[in-house]
Amino acid sequence: MHVISRNLSSKCIDGAVVCEYTLSGQVDDELVELLKKNQDFSEKQFGGLRIFTCKNEWLSVKGMTGDTILYITCQKSDVRRIEEYILNLLQSHQGL
């Protein structure tokens, strides 16, 4: 799985930005489990899908299993750090 595109979808009053990452494959349970490991994690079941939010001190990740999009909110100054985070996450996912 890899990133097909990244769009800056909105800017917040506090200087945060929302980046929309379109992935080459659907978010699956294994990727959600990786996100769950080191973050404040919450999820809801919606039919057979999992809607989730992961947060830590510098980012928030939102998504749903079966979808190809992840929404990441961070401060504008952390956008490069997010790029590295996503690449590392997807590489870890491929290694499973």
- Residue type present at position 44: K
Q: What is the mean pLDDT of residues 36-58?
A: 89
Q: What is the structure's pLDDT at 95?
A: 73
* Per-residue pLDDT tens over the stretch 76-95: 888 889 999 999 999 999 87
- The CATH-assigned architecture of domain 3-94 is 2-Layer Sandwich (3.30)
* Per-residue pLDDT tens over the stretch 13-41: 888 899 999 999 999 999 999 998 877 99
C-alpha 83: how far from chain center: 11
Q: Per DSSP, what are the bridge partners of residue 63? A: 52
| pLDDT of residue 96 exceeding 70 | no
